[in-house]
Amino acid sequence: MASSMITPTDASTAPINTEQSLSNSTDLNGKHMSKRSRKLDKLAPYLFGMDIGGSLAKVVFFEPNSKADGAEKKKRIVTKHDLTRNLSSDSDNSDADDNFEMLANYVLSNHYLGDNGIRDQRLEMHDQQFHGQSGTLHFIHFLTSRMDECFEFAKTFRLPDLSDVVCATGGGAYKYEGNCKEILGMKLRKYDELECLIKGIHYIYAHNPLSECYFWEGVTSDGSSPNARKVPYDFGDPYPYIVVNFGSGVSILAVQSPDEYYRVTGSSIGGGTFLGLCCLLTGCETFEEALRMAENGDSTKVDKLVRDIYGGSYDKFNLPGSTVAASFGHMMHENKRKQMSKSDLARAALVTITNNIGSIAMMTAHAQKIQRIVFVGNFLRTNDIAMKMLAHALNYWSQGTMKALFLEHEGYFGAVGALLKLSDQVNTEKNNNKQ
């Protein structure tokens, strides 16, 4: 898997082994640098942030603008065949720097990376500044289930020769710590997941203010909403706000300021539940396949609605007849089971998960006395149905006083935060080397 080649690196806190610590050099200013510091110096222009979630691993990669004698240096186009040939021919004798450059060129030459890696080209951010260099942020994701292949590929390309440490956030940063050490001989440096999430949100909005935040207008309760449209939202002064991180599971945070935030609650019923149910009930194998099925399904053939019980709306408590009274409630009846399709089951699973999280988010906002709710996370990736349902629910139940807000870089904020933490570490190490 090609995307497995992409690993974030930081050498500031790695344990120095005996052989490495005996190898020192002198920089242009006559200062001694350890081999570990030289590794960091090589990679300083190329920054990575990684967020290893329960279903997806997300990578943010900073590509500095290449300049050669004042002229733009032409990038080399690298195909999967080029990589395979490099591995089979001279990988044992190749230089780690050359391998890394080839790796970077491959990532930047392709949209699909290996079997399941994807570079989200629409999310690229140009003219970003790190360490005095201007460049582009690239956004990549692949299945967490392929992490061991990621480590093996990195080992084959001798990336451990470039760094002693892999930097990551998310639950997988803990789960795969042993694998990273065993396969690569590298330490996995872990950054706090929630801190990275908040840092990432604030950085992305600050550098993409005109097109990052939006809400949906003209939506209907079932999420079909053919006339719905995105409306830009000014998130320049957001505090306080609730952020709902909608991934495999769900975490809900209250954010009072850039540095003051706390986790209020969460739920085990999230994107992982949706995909798990769809795999079990429909035989699908991927999130994308589950969403395609849900788009063509009718949840009312599976869910029992208020009108199925009352014959219409329950006006006393302002419950429209289209409100779900019992998720999967029709499935207790044999005749209803015969009438539904697998796509209907997928749609009902999507409606169930989305309604549940929307309800929890709204109750949390009321309890915290906060009006703004921002939904992020990979459950919302290409999932317009869920976003529109959340938009309708919050608007309806708040009587128009609350809007469900969304961000374009939905699932990448943790990885961006990890990149920022790594950037800070690189700056610290550089300053220490100057002293």
Is residue 418 helix, strand or coil? helix
Q: CA torsion angle for 208, 6, 77, 129 (degrees, to 10)? A: 30
Task: Tell which residue, 145, 140, 180, has the closest CA to residue 160.
Answer: 180
Q: 162 vs 4, 126, 272, CA distance in Å?
A: 16, 26, 35
User: Would you call 193 a catalytic residue per the annotation?
Assistant: yes
Q: Which two tokens stand for residue 164?
A: 């002693």
CB neighbours of residue 148 within 10 Å: 14
**Could you tell me if 405 and 233 are in contact, meaning their C-beta atoms sit under 8 angstroms apart?**
yes
Distance CA 243, CA 240 (A): 10
**Token duo for residue 25:** 């050099």
The token pair at 355 is: 């309604």
Buried/exposed code over 69-78 (b: 16+ C-beta within 10 A; e: otherwise):
eeeeeeeeeb
Q: Which of 193, 212, 410, 429 is catalytic?
A: 193
**CA–CA separation, 171 vs 52, rounded Å?**
6
- Return d(Cα 264, Cα 76) in angstroms, integer: 48
Phi, psi of 296 (to 5 degrees): -100, 5
Q: Is 220 exposed, middle or buried (0-12, 13-18, 19+ CB in 10 A)?
A: middle
Q: Decide if 345 contacts 330 (C-beta within 8 A).
A: no
169: exposed, middle or buried (C-beta count within 10 Å: 0-12, 13-18, 19+)? Answer: buried
- Active-site residues: which are they? 193
